[in-house]
Chains A and B, each alone.
Chain A
């Protein structure tokens, strides 16, 4: 995979024409276009789930049917359609993925920028970030999720809370580079406040990194959500991909109903893969220093 060569890139103020050009060159890469397309399809599925398939309820007569014209992804041991479950599961997975990553991004960016610009904060924030990074996240998430009442809302909070340190670290390192640049000194000399420098001068310079982090964190959050739901710590009232897998495992049909595990797993794979690829390509496009480096 050869990285695209960019003709121009300015840090930080980006001219509108350059923005258009970089979006264009971003989408011209087949891998980026394809993964953005997959993400768009997923979003459409989530938003229009009620139009695509009825919410899986009740019990049907066709129990454990393999995939067919009537049931594209087959049925489970209650006779519910797996396709409908996957479509409705997209909602939960995307909502949790996005919301958790927004929480992580807001926390991470704030902490990252603060420690990049304000030296005294840096010492404390770095230690906290390091401690958070060193914590065994999965067991902690499992413990927390077992203690609180499982719902989409609590899962989002838990996953978001454990995902910010990576973002903070990323933003801080980029912020350190930017805050050492001459134009920041210029701003300071002109009498700009710390708040203004951070929000108006440094933040725009790291915003592309933030976008990349949103995608990467969201894909990690989707995996965390599926994992917690699979362990029975998910929202029992909301369909999610992890819950479909849990149903298959719990009712002991993994060996005979491959469709009940294959399709939700494929959905997870597709979402995570395309979010990751889209994020990586975006990063390559926006940050010329990474090219060939």
Chain B
């Protein structure tokens, strides 16, 4: 009896030792593996702040989702470094039938990683599924589609109920093309997780992942947009760093080769004097803005909105918060759309005294003499995790006080902010539009009463604006179309539905001693990590 107990003890100890050795052995193996990857020049390691939350490319996506999925699933068009549409899967597109049919002509050399070619049927299938299950933001862009035809392997025709000028641009840029032969058997695509056995046709396709740590993508051996017919980098590995400070240190220490998220302007100095780290700068496709809730009795007054616009010191915001690295805006159309930006519209000049006089003239009173108009007190909502916006709100609050308008800083935790934005619980919304690929879609989604894009943050219901937008949308003549957009730019500016703050530049940092050849596109969503850009990257020899 005693002996067996002793024996068991020995066995337990022996097992413990074996287990310990095993664990340390694994640890050693892992160390070896990671040191191998870090010395192998053809693995590009990219830092990101969040995990992938959704692997279905047809649904709405967070930033990391779209980075990884856009490298796997091709789009018809892409946005090049000048913010113009460029061919990707589609060689060209044209309108027929007085703008009521949009025709895409596809390349014939794209291949899915299982060897099958990418064909017009895949495009048709993707669009039909999005319409059927109302998936993501692309569903709103397909509103006018009556039917889709794929007469041959490289031609797709979208029949529209009415001409819509930027239809092809919007759908071409936003819609991911998925392999019909993989997605069709999955059934209901609104519930399809697509989280394993990936088949893609981009330059890279997901191979393995460890949640919270890394997403490893292997090269597609056939990607026609890469210089050599396939990407020069053999693997792309996304690593998760929730904190940007840590990510910057990881880049400096050589743990990653590229930061997917932009370097905050305040932190640009971090890489000064580091000869290995290079910076690439791109513009934005969106802009920062203050948007006024028209459901608020006082904010529905044009004079109040104009006075608020006059009490935002955008120039000093740009010089202080963005260190001068941003552009001023006047109306809702960003200067990046140079064809549509109405240059006659000038921003409201910063003039708190003038704003005060304007409000007094409009009949607002300060009966209790506390320096603030009695009725004008608003909350400014913003996302606490956005460093720039919290600074903007801080400065806005101080400058509006000079105009006699009392503002309360309501910068809250991100999810609370998103929930409030969704339910319209704010007076003034201080936030940032991410990506608008064309001004028409932007105006439709931000000002139409029917709110098709879900981002009419003004909660504006104006028949006049609806009429102007719908008229512009049905205009096929390019010159007349431009004039109508420019007019809308002016009307929205006069109404001061929003105060545009700035169009910022984004800086991306990468290890220039190891990789070169990035083809960056504007905005922090596209940046250095578009499928096209990753396919151009070459290791430095």
Query: A interface vs B, CB < 8 Å?
Result: 57-60, 63-64, 77-79, 145-147, 149-150, 231-233, 236-237, 247, 249-256
Q: Which chain A residues border B320 with CB–CB below 8 Å?
A: 58-60, 78-79
Cross-chain contact A251 with B398 (CB below 8 angstroms): no
Closest to A79 in B: B320
Closest to B384 in A: A232
Cross-chain contact A253 with B266 (CB below 8 angstroms): yes
Cross-chain contact B321 with A59 (CB below 8 angstroms): yes
Cross-chain contact A58 with B398 (CB below 8 angstroms): yes
Given known A79-B320, A236-B410, contact A250–B398 (CB-CB < 8 A): no
A67 to B396, CA, bound (A): 28
Jot down 10 A-B pairs with beta carbons below 8 A, ordered by A: A78-B320, A236-B384, A236-B409, A247-B387, A249-B245, A252-B248, A252-B267, A252-B270, A253-B267, A255-B267
Given known A232-B384, A250-B390, A251-B387, contact A146–B248 (CB-CB < 8 A): no
CB proximity to A under 8 Å, residues B415-471:
415-416
Given known A232-B385, A236-B390, contact A146–B267 (CB-CB < 8 A): no
Given known A77-B266, A256-B270, contact A63–B385 (CB-CB < 8 A): no
Interface presence of B249 (CB below 8 A): yes
Chain A at the B interface: SS class: loop
Interface presence of B166 (CB below 8 A): no
Q: Which chain A residues border B243 with CB–CB below 8 Å?
A: 249
What is the distance, in angstroms, from B397's C-beta to the closest C-beta of chain A?
A: 8
Q: A58-B398, A236-B411 are in contact. List 15 more A-B contacts (CB 8 A).
A: A57-B398, A60-B320, A145-B413, A232-B411, A232-B413, A233-B384, A236-B390, A251-B266, A252-B244, A252-B264, A252-B266, A253-B264, A255-B248, A255-B267, A255-B270
A249 to B243, CA, bound (A): 8
Interface presence of B269 (CB below 8 A): yes
Cross-chain contact B412 with A250 (CB below 8 angstroms): no
What is the distance, in angstroms, from B416's C-beta to the closest C-beta of chain A?
A: 5
Q: Which chain B residues border A250 with CB–CB below 8 Å?
A: 385, 387, 390
Q: A-facing mask of B325-362, CB < 8 A → 1, else 0?
A: 00000000000000000000000000000000000000
A250 to B265, CA, bound (A): 11
Q: Which chain A residues border B385 with CB–CB below 8 Å?
A: 232, 250
What is the distance, in angstroms, from A248's C-beta to the closest C-beta of chain B?
A: 8
Closest to B319 in A: A59
Interface presence of B323 (CB below 8 A): yes
A251 to B245, CA, bound (A): 9
Interface presence of B374 (CB below 8 A): no
What is the distance, in angstroms, from B428's C-beta to the closest C-beta of chain A?
A: 14
A205 to B493, CA, bound (A): 71
What is the distance, in angstroms, from B293's C-beta to the closest C-beta of chain A?
A: 17
Interface presence of B255 (CB below 8 A): no
Interface presence of B408 (CB below 8 A): yes
Counting chain A CB atoms within 10 Å of each CB, the highest count among B264, B267, B321 belongs to B267
A60 to B264, CA, bound (A): 18
A279 to B411, CA, bound (A): 37
Chain B at the A interface: SS class: helix
Query: B interface vs A, CB < 8 Å?
Result: 243-245, 248-249, 252, 263-264, 266-267, 269-270, 316, 319-321, 323, 384-385, 387, 390-391, 393-395, 397-398, 408-413, 415-416
Q: Which chain A residues border B391 with CB–CB below 8 Å?
A: 78
A256 to B243, CA, bound (A): 15
Cross-chain contact B323 with A149 (CB below 8 angstroms): no
What is the distance, in angstroms, from B6's C-beta to the closest C-beta of chain A?
A: 41
What is the distance, in angstroms, from B393's C-beta to the closest C-beta of chain A?
A: 8
Given known A250-B390, A252-B248, A255-B245, contact A150–B412 (CB-CB < 8 A): yes
Cross-chain contact A237 with B267 (CB below 8 angstroms): no
A215 to B323, CA, bound (A): 44
Q: Which chain A residues border B263 with CB–CB below 8 Å?
A: 252
Q: Which chain B residues border A236 with CB–CB below 8 Å?
A: 384, 390, 393-394, 409-411
A174 to B297, CA, bound (A): 58
Closest to B416 in A: A146
A101 to B228, CA, bound (A): 68
A79 to B244, CA, bound (A): 21
A20 to B266, CA, bound (A): 55
Q: Which residue of the partner chain, among B248, B266, B321, B409, contacts A237 with CB atoms under 8 Å?
A: B409
Cross-chain contact B390 with A78 (CB below 8 angstroms): no
A183 to B412, CA, bound (A): 55
Counting chain A CB atoms within 10 Å of each CB, the highest count among B243, B245, B323, B391 belongs to B245
What is the distance, in angstroms, from A258's C-beta to the closest C-beta of chain B?
A: 12
Q: Which chain A residues border B267 with CB–CB below 8 Å?
A: 251-253, 255-256
A150 to B319, CA, bound (A): 29
Q: Which residue of the partner chain, among B252, B387, B410, contacts A149 with CB atoms under 8 Å?
A: B410
Given known A150-B412, A249-B243, A252-B248, contact A64–B387 (CB-CB < 8 A): no
Cross-chain contact A78 with B321 (CB below 8 angstroms): yes
Q: Which chain B residues border A252 with CB–CB below 8 Å?
A: 244-245, 248, 263-264, 266-267, 270, 387
Cross-chain contact B269 with A64 (CB below 8 angstroms): yes
Q: Which residue of the partner chain, among B316, B321, B410, B413, contacts A233 with CB atoms under 8 Å?
A: B413
Closest to B412 in A: A150
Q: Which chain B residues border A231 with CB–CB below 8 Å?
A: 413
Given known A232-B384, A250-B387, contact A237–B270 (CB-CB < 8 A): no
Closest to B261 in A: A252
7 nearest A-B pairs in the assembled complex, by CB-CB distance? A59-B320, A77-B266, A252-B267, A232-B384, A252-B264, A250-B387, A251-B266
